[in-house]
Amino acid sequence: MKERILAAYDPFVLPFVFGISFVIGYCLLALFKVLVQLSPADRRKFALSLITPSTILKNLRDLFCDCLLHVKLWKRNKVLGYMHSSIAFGWFMIIVIGHIETVLYIPERLHKLYYPIFFRFFMEEQKQTLQGSFFFFLMDFFLLIILSGITLAIIKRFRSRIVGMRRTTKLTLTDLIGLYSLWAIFPLRWIAEGFTAGVAGGSFMTIPINWILHSFMSKPENITVAWWAYSLALGTFMTVLPFTRYMHIPAEILLIPMRNAGLPVRHTRKGFTLAMLYSCPSCGVCIDACPMGVQKKNVQDATVYMVRNLKRRNQRRSLEIAEKCLMCGKCASLCQVQMDACGIRLAYRTAQEKKNNRLPADFSYLNAVTPQEVGEEKVLYYAGCMSSLTPVISRSVQRVLQAAGVPFELMDRDGAICCGRPLLLAGRRDEAQQLIEKNRQLIEKSGAQILLVSCAICYRIFKEQYDLIGVEVVHYTEYFNRLIAAGRLPLKNSHETLVYHDPCDLGRGCGIYDAPRQALSQVGQLVPALKEREESVCCGGSVGSLTLRYEDREPITRGSIENLTANNPEQIVTACPLCLKTFGRFAPVPVRDFAEMLALHLETNKNDTK
């Protein structure tokens, strides 16, 4: 190997140099902006995490798995996974190998930004060496991988169903420029390297190109044209990158360590949230994921469009989108960058309420409510306010507890004080805090050590916001499952087919998927729903949505029921009063509560409760 162009420069590198300098400058400015916008405490937390060995390891692993290999996407969709990781990993390897070659053969040129990228243009091969052909092979191999990915991407753009997506995002003009220049980069590189393959060497991809068009290619003026085209494509891509969805590539590199540092979403488009918004590659997975998508008009309210509107500061649309969402969390659990879709919407709602609400809550009447004396040996049962509309739940819970011989006390016999989550979801954080404080006192002063909850919504806020000292909060699905495991609940199996619905706040919200299934398998035969666990479909009744109207909730509920009854179960079982009530309106088969199901199958059961 020796240098062919002794000046180590040719004007064609200029578009690339301009593009790369621009993108690096832009990213540094953006990084500075994000860091300045963090609160001082968050900034300290972030800095500290960057020097904690365990977090460093985690960061490296996540950077490798998420940014380069797209492991999450692979798990979800093999074709999409291959498409993204082939381009990202292939490109990364080409850059790395280009640098290795420069270091090995001509280290004095390493300081030139463009040299490793256009290595083949500047160098020539004097005699074939094994080491040389090894690199040629690697380069061509990764080029082939990238080209296969690009081919898939082109097919996907025009026929999204082939890769298994129903809907894909609409692109903006700059996105399109970015997209086409990205598509152009690698075929042009192939051709450009094909031109020089005769002198600079090549492998199975580039040499054949050189053979095919030998006479045309050996003309020096044609060579420069090909390299100009390649450099122009690179330069265009990098110059428009900050204004397109491809900004997700640099943004994700920042997002991953920030996320691993445990920073919370505090603002609608500043600091951590800004990094998160720009990390979204507009993949569109959240569009198909959203249960509201059963109606076409709601497609525009999917998370990817929330991100887009927030970035563009479109306040009117951002507000609509923030208020409509069911806060079911499905899009977030499927999102490859773990976009905190609900957290950002909640921040929006909270800011909005803080500024516009003129009627502050007055909960002084709750001062009259005094704690009960319960004692350590008893379980304190909080049915939640919604359960008073579904009395079957609290009745069944009490029957099961009696059957198992567990002493208990009802916390809300004379009407429940709401757990506060509905207020929180409406953006009234301070008001919710008042209810939380009141309930916390009532619970802690009661002296009970176990708080049993039969509402998924309550359970989530108890777990996340209450900070109860000396009290264990358990959801009844977990608690009854424990009783069964301990042999304290004799049940008979009726072998009816059941499908279990994962309530959003219990499953995605608190990660409880197995306990209810284990318990239910003792009383019937569980059949799977079409989509379940992390992908379960919200019942549509969620208190998370502020603006969805009754007429627009019905199609969501019907869609969810359709998903549940795909395998023709005889009954639907759920573990949240709200889902029970919502499904009950439209389900073609009986809908039962988890506790009701157990109570109906107690060994000692004489007459059924309905």
Partner 1 sequence: MIDFGYGLTPSATLRIENVQNPLFEELHRREPDVAKCIACGSCTASCSAGCFTEMSLRRVILSLQRGREKEILPMLQHCMLCGKCQLVCPRGINTRHLILSIGKVYGPADQKEEVRP
289 interacts with, out of ligand SF4, partner 1, none, CB within 5 to 8 A per kind = ligand SF4
Q: Which of 179, 275, 342, 474 binds ligand SF4 (CB under 6 A)?
A: 342
As a whole number of angstroms, the distance between CA 559 and CA 551 comes to 13
> Is the CB of residue 375 less than 8 Å from the CB of residue 574?
no
388 interacts with, out of ligand SF4, partner 1, none, CB within 5 to 8 A per kind = partner 1
Q: Which of 234, 290, 564, 579 binds ligand SF4 (CB under 6 A)?
A: 290
What residue ranges in 516-605 does DSSP mark as E strands? 525-526, 571-574, 591-593
Q: Is 369 in the site for partner 1 (CB under 8 A)?
A: yes
Considering only the stretches 150-158, 176-184, 329-337, 475-483, report the one whose residues sit in contact with ligand SF4 under the rule CB under 6 A.
329-337
CB of 358 to partner 1, least distance (A): 3
Q: Is 328 in the site for ligand SF4 (CB under 6 A)?
A: yes
As a whole number of angstroms, the distance between CA 411 and CA 452 comes to 10
Q: Which residues in the 41-80 window bind partner 1 by CB under 8 A?
A: none
Show the DSSP H helices in 201-290 as ranges. 206-212, 214-217, 220-240, 248-260, 272-279, 285-289
**Could you tell me which residues come within 8 angstroms of residue 87 by beta carbon, excluding any fewer than 6 positions away?**
146, 149, 150, 153
SS (H, E, C) 335-395: CCCCCCHHHHHHHHHHHHHHHHCCCCCCCHHHHHCCCCCCCCCCEEEECCHHHHHCHHHHH
Q: Which is nearer to ligand SF4, 200 or 561 (CB)?
A: 561
As a whole number of angstroms, the distance between CA 42 and CA 30 comes to 17
Q: Is 286 in the site for ligand SF4 (CB under 6 A)?
A: yes
Q: Is 389 in the site for partner 1 (CB under 8 A)?
A: yes
Q: Which residues in the 491-530 window bind partner 1 by CB under 8 A?
A: none
Q: Which is nearer to ligand SF4, 146 or 342 (CB)?
A: 342
Phi-psi region of 568 (alpha: psi -120 to 50; beta: other; left: phi over 0): left
Considering only the stretches 89-97, 119-127, 450-458, 479-487, report the one whose residues sit in contact with ligand SF4 under the rule CB under 6 A.
450-458
Q: Is 358 in the site for partner 1 (CB under 8 A)?
A: yes
As a whole number of angstroms, the distance between CA 394 and CA 500 comes to 19
Q: Which of 336, 439, 477, 560 binds ligand SF4 (CB under 6 A)?
A: 336
**Mask: binding to partner 1, 422-441, rule CB under 8 A, as x and -?**
xx--x-x------x------
Q: Is 418 in the site for ligand SF4 (CB under 6 A)?
A: yes
440 phi and psi angles, rounded to 5 deg: -60, -45
Question: Residue 183 corresponds to which amino acid?
Answer: W
Q: Is 356 in the site for partner 1 (CB under 8 A)?
A: yes
Q: Is 573 in the site for partner 1 (CB under 8 A)?
A: no
**Could you tell me which residues come within 8 angstroms of residue 501 by beta carbon, excluding any fewer than 6 positions away?**
529, 536, 539, 560, 564, 572, 573, 574, 575, 579, 583
**Mask: binding to partner 1, 314-353, rule CB under 8 A, as x and -?**
-x---x----------------------------x--xxx
Considering only the stretches 125-133, 392-400, 532-540, 548-556, report the one whose residues sit in contact with partner 1 under the rule CB under 8 A.
548-556
Q: Is 359 in the site for partner 1 (CB under 8 A)?
A: yes
CB of 115 to partner 1, least distance (A): 48
Q: Is 370 in the site for partner 1 (CB under 8 A)?
A: no
Q: Is 418 in the site for partner 1 (CB under 8 A)?
A: yes
For residue 596, give the nearest of 385, 382, 391, 392 by alpha carbon. Answer: 392
Bridging pattern class, strands 2-3 and 123-124: antiparallel
Q: Which of 106, 285, 452, 506 binds ligand SF4 (CB under 6 A)?
A: 285
Phi-psi region of 327 (alpha: psi -120 to 50; beta: other; left: phi over 0): left
Q: Is 313 in the site for partner 1 (CB under 8 A)?
A: no
**Could you tell me which residues come within 8 angstroms of residue 69 by beta carbon, excluding any fewer than 6 positions away?**
85, 88, 89
Local structure of 498: helix, strand or coil: strand
- Residue found under tokens 């690698």: 186
How many helices (H) does the chain have, and how many strands (E)? 28, 10
Q: Which is nearer to partner 1, 369 or 566 (CB)?
A: 369
Q: Which is nearer to ligand SF4, 125 or 301 (CB)?
A: 301
Task: Indicate the DSSP class of residue 69.
Answer: I
Q: Is 424 in the site for ligand SF4 (CB under 6 A)?
A: no
Q: Is 351 in the site for ligand SF4 (CB under 6 A)?
A: no
As a whole number of angstroms, the distance between CA 284 and CA 274 comes to 19
Exposure string over 364-391, b if 16+ CB within 10 A, otherwise e = eeeeeeeebebeeebbbbbbbbbbeebe
Length of the chain counted residue by residue: 610
Q: Which of 11, 415, 487, 588 binds partner 1 (CB under 8 A)?
A: 415
Which single residue brings its beta carbon nearest to ligand SF4?
A: 386
Considering only the stretches 217-225, 356-364, 470-478, 532-540, report the one whose residues sit in contact with partner 1 under the rule CB under 8 A.
356-364
Q: Which is nearer to ligand SF4, 181 or 303 (CB)?
A: 303
> Is the CB of residue 381 less than 8 Å from the CB of residue 400?
no
Bridge partners of residue 499, in order along the sequence: 572
Residues that bind partner 1 (CB under 8 A): 268, 315, 319, 348, 351-353, 355-363, 365-366, 368-369, 385-386, 388-389, 414-418, 420, 422-423, 426, 428, 435, 541, 543, 546-551, 578, 581
Residues that bind ligand SF4 (CB under 6 A): 280-286, 289-292, 302-304, 307, 325-331, 335-337, 339, 341-342, 384-386, 416, 418-419, 421-422, 455, 457-458, 577
